[in-house]
Amino acid sequence: MKLPTYLNQSKATGGLVAAKTTVEILDPKLTLHIETRSKYVQTLLKNPLKLEDAGFFNAVNSEILQSTIASFRAWRTPTLISLLVEKDEQSNAKGAKRLANAAIKKVRVSYINLLLPPTLRVTGAKLKTMTQGLAYRIIKSQQTERDEMVRRRTEENLNRIIESVQDRFNYTPTPESIWKAIRHKDLEHKTRNFMWMIIHDAYWTGTHWLRSSMNQELQERAFCATCGKVDDFQHILMECESPGQTIIWNLVSKVWEMKDSTIPWTLLSLGDVLGCGLARAKNAGGSRLWKIMIAESAYLIWILCSKQVIANEGTPFTKGEVQNRWVKMINNQLELDCRMTHK
């Protein structure tokens, strides 16, 4: 067998894969005797409890380790695992080397199935054997992973905004200017929070529901009930086939095209929405109108989407209802602007 690239390329990994494959292909009624030159493999397979009790935390090769141990757990008959001594090694070395050389010459790598049956999956450390030190390290590790994931998704959204502003307005904004733009008081407080949350990917949408800790029923929430696609904000605000976003963006485009502006109306992206506060029109009024219409319309789409799922139990709003809500939202914004202007 030739190890696939998604596994650590080492002798230890090779030994684990060999042991795992052996128990999976042999007749389960047989009594199994495994001989290995690897003390690492022998020790782990003879006494896997320590790793399992710790939830495989910080274990090198944790995926293949857990998969291999699970395969042995599923083996019903007695299993003997012994370490080869030097005399035995010499008698078996030629055959092992021949197989190893043949595997190296393979063009295609072997597929190693790492999926675990639910009954054999270790989902965390065992409380009975938990120490304070182990608990602390696990908590810190989880916090670090979560923070890294959040930072990564935030950076992805910031890059989206930068690319959109470069394409539409021909300049490169700084991250500082992006954060400043979404805090501008031209937008309502709830809309500013909405934009901030999207950039940080803080809403529970899309792939957030696909975490391993979620049961199957909750994981189904990751997908749009109308389209069957991953229900992230790119989908919610730009792509969903359910009535709402298409109607609202058509209304926005009609209003915008009535205005003589240097910003041409083209199909919006998520980066355009999140970066709407960075618009550079011919005059400040045009930039301000672009910002308010795009941001407030996006917020309305989100509100309608949430109400459709929760309050309406999946029943979409009619075209008339969507139009009326958008017109009311725009009129409220105009009224607020008038009051602010005459203060």
- What local confidence, expressed as pLDDT, does residue 123 receive? 76
- What local confidence, expressed as pLDDT, does residue 328 receive? 92
Residues 207-257: tens digit of each pLDDT: 888 887 888 888 888 898 888 888 999 999 999 888 789 999 999 999 888
- What local confidence, expressed as pLDDT, does residue 86 receive? 63
Cβ atoms of 222 and 208 within 8 Å: the answer is yes
Distance (Å, whole) CA 217 – CA 119: 18
Cβ atoms of 244 and 297 within 8 Å: the answer is no
Burial of 271 (0-12, 13-18, 19+ CB in 10 A): buried
| Positions in the chain short of pLDDT 70 | 1, 86-97, 99-101, 103-105, 107, 144-150, 260-261, 337-338, 340-343
Cβ atoms of 69 and 52 within 8 Å: the answer is yes
Distance (Å, whole) CA 68 – CA 65: 5
79 φ/ψ angles, rounded to the nearest 5 degrees: -130, 130
For residue 6, give the 3-state DSSP assignment. Answer: coil
- What local confidence, expressed as pLDDT, does residue 127 receive? 82
